[in-house]
Amino acid sequence: MVSGMPAPQIEKVHGPARREIVKGLRAYNAGVVGKLDHRPLTVTIRERGKIVGGLAGETFFGWMFVSLLWVSDQHRGNGWGTSLMQTAEAEAQSRGVRHVYLDSFSFQAPAFYERLGYREFGRLKEFPIGYDRVWMTKAL
């Protein structure tokens, strides 16, 4: 530990501390690159008011990051995931985004993303044990 530095603490409540960390990092980033243009992006498919598929992500720095994509079991294989991705990509393009990146576990959907034109650019082996975490990208 650095002399004179307060001891780091484990926080019991995640939200308030995370907001302060994000606020500080965004202020730093804005000082370096200017306007941040960070915007959340959520796309859903509903059936009788209930969400049965969705995508959560964000756009910033001319990129879209897809953090979550899910389609309920009974609707998988029917093109719903493709529809969610295409809708998100179109919205991202309307925001001036030119590239997308995402990650998927090897037991999830890398082949699905490859069919949509994504290519692998990184892989963490044994994450979780027996599987890999795969990072992919696509130009829009």
Contact 65, 57 (CB under 8 A): yes
Quote the pLDDT of residue 92.
98
Query: In which residue ranges of the chain is pLDDT below 70?
Result: 1-2
- Which CATH superfamily hosts domain 39-139? Gcn5-related N-acetyltransferase (GNAT) (3.40.630.30)
pLDDT of residue 1: 62
Sheet with strand 63-71: strands edge to edge? 39-47, 50-60, 63-71, 99-105, 133-139, 119-124
pLDDT for the residue 14: 83
pLDDT at 15: 87
pLDDT digits (tens, 9 = 90+) for 58-77: 999 999 999 999 999 999 99
For the chain, the structural domain boundaries read 39-139
Confidence (pLDDT) at 117: 98
Q: Which helix (H) or strand (E) holds 127?
A: none
